Structure 1
Amino acid sequence: MKKDTHPTVFKAKISCACGYESEARSTKGEAVAVEICSQCHPFYTGKQRFVDTAGRIDRFRKKYANFKK
């Protein structure tokens, strides 16, 4: 096996925006921040959560309020 071809693997602390933290191995570094994880993702929790950025959901509903099939 050739030397110095594989990336360095770190023991990383992964922290989510919801506050959940876990440890894993990563090539990105020792600390990785994510916005959403399995503890807060709607697919895993069964709860629907909207993250409305700049009123986009309201704009969509207003635009298509009069639309009929």
Structure 2
Amino acid sequence: MKSGIHPAYRPVVFRDKVGGLAFLTRSTATGDRTVKWEDGTTHPVIDVEISSASHPFHTGQSRVLDTAGRVEQFRRRYGDRY
């Protein structure tokens, strides 16, 4: 890799505001706030709105669409024209 052209790749904590999940990973993203991690080191923190702890698909709160009802509604509305 060429030196001086790549952003810094360092440990960053991503924290879910709603679900309370926080995980440490490496990223080029920068945060203006820091947090003390479980091992005692301080890392930049980035707050996210959605993660696997709060996303409806992963928590089991997702809605299932009634696709058969939509097809019947389409057929009632447009008939055999399409």
> Shorter-normalised TM-score: what interval?
0.5 to 0.7
Instruction: State the structure with more CA Rg.
Output: 2
Q: 1:7-46 to 2 correspondence within 5 Å?
A: 7-18=7-18, 19-29=20-30, 30-46=44-60
Tell me how far apart the structure 2 counterparts of residues 2 and 22 of structure 1 sit (CA, whole Å).
Answer: 30
**Aligned structure 1 segments of 4 or more residues deviating by more than 3 angstroms:** none
Higher-strand-fraction structure: 2
Unaligned runs of at least 5 residues, structure 2: 31-43, 64-76, 78-82
- TM-score normalised by L of structure 2: 0.53
- 1:45 to partner: Cα distance: 1.2
Percent pairwise identity: 36
Tell me how far apart the structure 2 counterparts of residues 43 and 28 of structure 1 sit (CA, whole Å).
Answer: 26
Tell me how far apart the structure 2 counterparts of residues 33 and 17 of structure 1 sit (CA, whole Å).
Answer: 6
1:61 aligned partner: none
- 1:48 to partner: Cα distance: 3.9
- TM-score normalised by L of structure 1: 0.61
SS of the residue aligned with 2:23? strand
- 1:5 to partner: Cα distance: 1.4
SS of the residue aligned with 2:29? coil
1:47 aligned partner: 61
Count of residues in correspondence between the two structures: 50
